[in-house]
Amino acid sequence: MPCVIELTGIRKSFGGVHALKGVDFSISPGEVHCLVGENGSGKSTLIKIMSGVYAPDAGEIRIDGKPCARLTPHESIAAGVQVIYQDLSLFPNLSVAENIGIRQYMEKGRRLVDWRRLRKSADDAMRRIGVSLDPDRPVRELSIADRQLVAICRAIAEDARLVIMDEPTASLTRTEVDALLSVVRDLQRRDLAILFVSHRLDEVMEIARRVTVLRDGEQAGVYDARELDDARLAFLMTGKQFTWGINRTSCEGNAPLLEVRNLSKKRNYADISFTLRRGEILGVTGLLGSGRTELALSLFGCSAPDSGEIRVEGTAVRLESNRDAIRAGIGYLPEDRLTLGLVLDQSAGDNVVLSIVDSLVGRGGLIDGRRCDATVREWIESLNIKVSDPVVPVRTLSGGNQQKVVLAKWLATNPKILILDSPTVGVDIAAKHGIFEIVKALAAKGIGIILISDEVPEVLCNAHRVLLMRRGRIVGEYRPDGISQKELAVKINAE
């Protein structure tokens, strides 16, 4: 059977920067394939070449075995290539049916909407992958997982033969991922080719056959999915070996920094008690909706608990706003750094000094520019933030460097306690390592760290202790040397 699409020796450069340096790629009908690589490795360029957005500088594209000289976006769609971007490209204000059948509006010469045909194509697409969503419901009311199904249905309705999914599991819970995987298996049975694009070892690799790894625009190889694990994949993607040792030390002798006693908040969490000691990294894990973020928000003063007690260094504190929390020495790195952690259009430097700008006021009530620059330079150096110039907007930095900027912002306030909520979402492996090196160094200096994450290896490799949350309660406490990654993953997902 010929490949759905086959690329050989693809080269592409943008103004002297070689994004792709001779990449081969192929996928056959009914195959689930993964394309992995760090940010900037050329994944998106490769997708854009397959969807016809970019023309390659050199190399050959074959569709169904037939070479095509120039692939336009239109021809790519006609050949059955459908890309589902990470943001899903849906129209939140339109109904499910309209989102699925929207291609009708692009048909030549069509002026009036054929509502009956639109509805039928939506129903057909949903039936084909066995989902039933209310076709009249506006997409904005759906969960992320359901929205993803709508995006898949749209691809099906447009006679997709190759569906490219960019980071499809990034914002799904484990149950939702399982539902997605069963839909994907179904597509596979119908001889559709599926390409997952990711920068990490994704759950979807469970059902992938082959994995193509890109590194710096070059192909680091095509592998059988079964022969890869975290460490090997990290090596292939970065060319560096990382050690994944676990944290065997204990902080039990250290003075308590944060004591939480019987903290409860209706419809958020109940009866939470734990102690965080100086220099300790306390992992908090659990599914999305287990109450972990809700707890973090209460500890940062953003949503007051109904009952219970919080003590910082032995003194009971009332945290009624985040200003109280900052005054008590607590910093919080939010889960969604883009909207909550950074002012994206301001410079990296301005973001770093954002939370301490009051202390940089010099004579005459104006900001002391020299001291400000010095502080920024100090943090950029000590956290090794890769930025050509502190004045460029944070928006242009990579995920890992953005996260370091958020970290620097909090460290500048000289906190005693730092709450990190999913600090490595959307961050490369190498950058992830960099961030945890920093976190460990901070703990060594005596800062207490609460690390919230649902990535099991991340928690087990960095935390001294791990608390497991489920449906608003702490249901277990583990030491990293007392539980394996597999066991913890099972416990996290148990209902």
Partner 1 sequence: MRNDERLRGGTRAGFAALRGEFLLAGVILLLVAFLGAKTDGFLSWSNLFDLLNSYAFVGIMAAGLLTVLISGGIDISFTATATVAQYVVASILVRYGESMGAPFGWIVIFGAAAFTGLLLGAVNGLLVHSLRVSAMIVTIATLNVFYGILIFVTRGKWLYDFPKWFADGVNVWSFTQGGATYSLSLAICALIAVLAFTAFLLNRTTLGRKIYAMGGNPEAATRMGFNLLGLRLFVFCYMGFLAAVGAVVQAQVMQTVAPNSIVGRELEVLAAVVLGGASLSGGGGTLLGTMLGVALIAILQNGLTLLGVSSYWHQIVIGCVILSSVSATAWNARNGAGRGVGIDVPD
Query: What residues line the site for partner 1 (CB under 8 A)?
Result: 73-74, 85, 87, 89-95, 98, 102-106, 110-113, 132, 134-138, 266-270, 289-291, 294, 471-473
Min dist CB 351 to partner 1, Å, is 25
Q: Which residue number, 247 or 298, has a Cβ lying nearer to partner 1?
A: 298
Distance of CA 218 to the CA centre of its chain: 24
Whole-angstrom Cα distance, residue 157 to residue 231? Answer: 39
Q: DSSP per residue over 280-311, as a string? A: -EEEEE--TTSSHHHHHHHHTTSS--SEEEEE
Min dist CB 135 to partner 1, Å, is 7
The pair of three-digit structure tokens given for residue 239, joined into one six-digit string: 């060319």
Residue appearing with tokens 């849906």: 90
Q: Which residue number, 426 or 472, has a Cβ lying nearer to partner 1?
A: 472
**Secondary structure element (H or E) that encloses residue 347, with its range:** none
The pair of three-digit structure tokens given for residue 97, joined into one six-digit string: 């049916």
Min dist CB 105 to partner 1, Å, is 4
The pair of three-digit structure tokens given for residue 299, joined into one six-digit string: 């500890």
Q: Which residues of 10-27 are buried (b: 16+ CB within 10 A; e: fewer)?
A: bebeeeeeebbeebebbb
Q: Which amino acid is at 338?
A: L
Min dist CB 207 to partner 1, Å, is 27
Q: Which residue number, 46 or 233, has a Cβ lying nearer to partner 1?
A: 46
- 411 neighbors 323 (Cβ within 8 angstroms): no
Min dist CB 267 to partner 1, Å, is 4
Q: Which residue number, 14 or 91, has a Cβ lying nearer to partner 1?
A: 91
- 441 neighbors 404 (Cβ within 8 angstroms): no
For the chain, first and last CA: distance in Å?
43
Min dist CB 152 to partner 1, Å, is 15
Q: What is the DSSP letter of 193?
A: E
Q: Which residue number, 106 or 444, has a Cβ lying nearer to partner 1?
A: 106
Min dist CB 137 to partner 1, Å, is 5
Strand 269-277 to 256-265 pairing? antiparallel
Q: Which residue number, 95 or 212, has a Cβ lying nearer to partner 1?
A: 95
Q: Which residue number, 356 or 475, has a Cβ lying nearer to partner 1?
A: 475
